[in-house]
Every structure is written in C-alpha cells, then in structure tokens.
A = this chain, B = another copy of it.
Amino acid sequence: MEPFWTIRALQACRKKAQPPFQGCPVHREIPGNPGISCMTGQERSEEKSECVSLSPMRETVPALPERVCVFGTGDLGRSLGLRLLQAGYSVVFGSRRTHSSSRLPHGAQVLGHAAAAQSAHLIFIAVQREHYDFLVPLANQLKGKVLVDLSNNLRKNQYPEANAEYLQSLVPGAEVVKGFNTLSAWSLQNGPSDANRQVYICGESVEAKQVVIAVASKLGLSALDRGFLSVARELEDFPLQLFPQWRLPLRIAIGLSAAFFFYLLIRYVIYAYVTQGDDISFRIMVSLANQVCPIVSLIMLSLCYLPGVLASILQLYRGTKYRRFPNWLDHWMLCRKQLGLLSLGFAFLHVLYTLIIPIRYSVMFWVTEHTVSLIRENRTTMFDTTTAWHDDSYLSLGILGFGLYVLLGITSLPSVSNVLSWREFSFIQSKLGHLTLLLCTAHTYLYGWNRFLSASTYKWYTPPGYMLCLVLPSVVLLLKLLLITPCVDRTITRIRQGWERGADQRNPKDSQPLIP
C-alpha cells in the first residue's frame, strides 16, 4: 500500500521552535574553536572539557546539542531530520529555497546549502543522485566533512558506479560514508521498534564511519561497518532485492509442482480417458492438487535436511571442519529455512484439501451411490479391523507429523527463535525436524500400504506419485540413521569441536572453538 509519510511527520514533531544557536556566541569566543558543534560525540566532550576548565560555572553550562546537517527536504530528509531532533540533535536543513520550510519539522533550521554545510561536521545527503551536481560548487565548504550518502536507485545497475562512489568523485575533499539507505521515511518516523534496527555503512575513512556509528546508536540503530566504499554498490542493491533467499526454493517448488502435476495428469485423468473413456477432468481441482501438495511437501522437507547430512558426511570424509564446503552445498544450506517453510505451506494446503473431502459433491455422490448399490445388489460388506487400524494409523501419523511441522514453523519465526538458546534451537530444528520427516515418511508409506506390490498400481508401467516422492526422504533418513550410530557420531562430535584428523601432532591450542 501507499506509504504515507507526509502527514505524520508534521503531527509528531515539537510544538514550539527551539531558538537556534543558543549560547553559541559565548562558545565561539573561546580561541581556537572555530567550528563548534561540527564534531562528533567524542570530539565534543574534548571540546567541552577544554572550555569548561576555563570557566568556573561548569555545573550550569548545559550540554549543547550537537548539530548535524541534512541536505534534501523530501520525505526521507524531513523524516530523518525529525528523528535527529527527537534524539537530541540540533538539525540544519540545507535547501535552495530557505523560505519554504513549511513542511520541515519544527525546531529545525533552514539555511542555504553553503551556510548549512559550514555549520555542521556531519551532513546527510538525502537527495537523488541526478541532483548531486549542486554539491560541486560547495567543495570548499564540504572539505573534511563527513557526507552520508542515503540514496537508493530505482533498479539494479542503473548507473556505471555506485552513487556513493560518484558522490566521492564529485567532492573528493569530503569523507563519503554510504549508509542508512535501507531505512525508509516510514521506519524513521515510527521508530526502530517497528523496523529493522540494523543498518550497514561503508566508507574509506575509519574516523568518518565512527562518527556515523555514534549517530546511528543515538537514533536507536545499530550500524555495522561493512568495509570500504567499494562495498557501496552492494549496500545500494540491498533495498532493491525481492526475496533473494527465496528464489531458489521457490523455483524448486514450482518446478516440482509442475512436473508432478503433469505426471499425475497423464497417469490419472488422461489414462482414465484413454483406457476407459471416462472424463474425470474435474479431479484436477482438488484430487490432483491434493496429490501434488503432499508429494512436493515431502520432497522439499527432505531437501531441507539432505544438505546437513551431506555436510556431515563431507566433514567425516575430510576429517576436519576447517575446510570450506563446495559452493553448491553452501548455497543449499543457506536456504534450508526457506525450503522448510515452503514445505510447510504445501503441507498446510494438503491438510485443507484433505479435510474438505467429505463435503465435495463427487465424494458425497459416490458414498450415496455405494450405499444404494449395496442395497440394490443385496451385498453385505464385513468390517475389516486391519483396514481400520491401517487407516487410522495413517491419519494419526499425518496429524502428528503436521503438528510437529507447525511447531517447526513457529520456532522459525524470528521473535521465537531469538528467545531460544542455540542448544534449544538446534534441538528443535534438528531432532524434532528429523522426527517430523520420519512421521511424514511413515504416513506416506502407510498410504501406499499394500499397493506397492499390486500390478494394477503401475498404470502404463509408471509408479504412482507417492512412491516417487518416498525415494529422497528414505535416503535422508537412512543416512541420518547411519550418522547417529555411536561410533560415527563420536567422530563427528570431535570434528565439530575442532579436532582435525592427522592434526594431533600440531599444537592447535587456541584455535579450538568454544562452541561445539
């Protein structure tokens, strides 16, 4: 939906304007102190301690708010200014139109670009890249200043170099720091409790980055230094990404669904039409969907646990945990959570599709028809306890498996996994996860039951879908069973604790990790 900054920005802000520059003239008379307020917190405290030691009225001289400057009076600039004011900063907006400050937060000052640049050491550039050229004539005023480039682009690779690198090339005398660009005007106005607190910065100057880290911390954000300005492009691409970690799992899900849909379409609908002339195409909507969903769900659940098993085997084979996994395995392991959640989605649909079975027209028709034919043909059926046992066990295993599935899903919610200790999280995701896989696999085996050996199951010599989907989970469970046999498990545990095969003669003393 439409973000809706403009109104709230003005509602939330201070009702009276603060007198700008209050007390400043006094400070300015202190010799050797030309640029008051143009310093970071650390620098300020130096400055203050110095002047304070000259004045006996130390107790009464209040801590003056630091001044920061914001270039750009768009949504983001205004929201950032409001937030800085709320965090106790004195804010100066740099604008070409210094009179039209009606939309700016009360308490902020508006100056021309040159005056604004002169007044503060830290300048946020909340202007679109196309307008950066207005900074070129300000090169003198910006010399030595910290410029924070907040800009984003509309799409990836829009420009040959990153915006921050372009800014640095325009104003070589300034210290450009890229950062804060993942913040929206919305999240700035509503406070970090409603948004991600972590922001990334990068830049050439360690000192400039420390200034920005300090300001971020005062705004309630946690800024992480990602390195030099060459990382800027990566940071600028960040807000443009659309579920990068979900792409591979989604493609797998769609691919598997499509493949099994057509396979089952041929095996059931087309087979029935070709061999018996029956039109059972209506089954596509529910029956076929209810076969595709559990098949894809089980395959994806086993794909979620397969890479862990493979990694263990690789570590066992290599005899160390300090060698990097191949790239494909690395990528695979990083999208296990997404694989699992998609698998849960398919399982959820499978449950709903199963539960509506008795209210479907075709099922109700068939049940009535069956009863009517029993009467008309005067047949009787005997209650078969084995079938009852089998049917109820199959359903019960499915329910328990789905219950655990949902539990796994809930514990993967960020707020839940955050309150778990590492041992608790790994207990749930590994122990309960494999138990879920076991229950769901057993559920599918019981579904197949005695049809595995019946020739009529193999229409056109093809196995049914549930048989195909059992291959992968069976392999994963067998390998896992192998890995948890005591002797293998002991070796893996030692490897995970830092032991290296053939490395005993070396002295690996302090390279041993603490976390098993």
User: CB within 8 Å of B: which of A410-435?
Assistant: 413-416, 418-419, 421-424, 426-427, 429-430, 433
User: CB within 8 Å of B: which of A500-516?
Assistant: 507, 509-516
**In the complex, A184→B374 CA distance in Å?**
66
- Tell whether A399 pairs with B88 under 8 Å between CB atoms, given A96-B509, A413-B415: no
Q: Which residues of B contact A224 (CB under 8 A)?
A: 86-87, 191, 220
Q: Which residues of B contact A356 (CB under 8 A)?
A: 354-355, 395, 399
A44 CB to closest chain B CB (Å) equals 8
0/1 per residue, A343-366, Cβ < 8 Å to B?
A: 001001101111111111110110
Interface centre among A97, A385, A510 (most CB of B within 10 A): A510
A168 within 8 A of B: no
Contact stretch, chosen from A192-200, A265-273, A458-466: A192-200
**In the complex, A359→B127 CA distance in Å?**
63
- Tell whether A396 pairs with B512 under 8 Å between CB atoms, given A239-B422, A324-B6: no
**In the complex, A88→B207 CA distance in Å?**
8
Residue in B closest to A240 when the chains form the complex, CB atoms:
B423
- Tell whether A4 pairs with B240 under 8 Å between CB atoms, given A286-B395, A388-B362, A509-B131: no
Number of copies: 3
A392 within 8 A of B: yes
**In the complex, A64→B46 CA distance in Å?**
14
A231 CB to closest chain B CB (Å) equals 7
Residue in B closest to A429 when the chains form the complex, CB atoms:
B1
Contact stretch, chosen from A65-73, A250-258, A294-302: A65-73
Q: Which residues of B contact A239 (CB under 8 A)?
A: 421-423
Q: Which of B60, B198, B429 contacts A193 (CB 8 A)?
A: B198
A392 x B282 contact (CB < 8 A): yes
Q: Which residues of B contact A157 (CB under 8 A)?
A: none
- Tell whether A416 pairs with B419 under 8 Å between CB atoms, given A65-B206, A312-B2, A507-B96: no
Q: Which of B75, B88, B226, B284 contacts A206 (CB 8 A)?
A: B88
A160 within 8 A of B: no
Residue in B closest to A287 when the chains form the complex, CB atoms:
B392
A371 CB to closest chain B CB (Å) equals 5
A292 CB to closest chain B CB (Å) equals 12
Additional A-B contact list (7), CB under 8 Å, known A71-B510, A415-B418: A43-B58, A88-B225, A352-B402, A353-B396, A356-B395, A357-B358, A365-B383
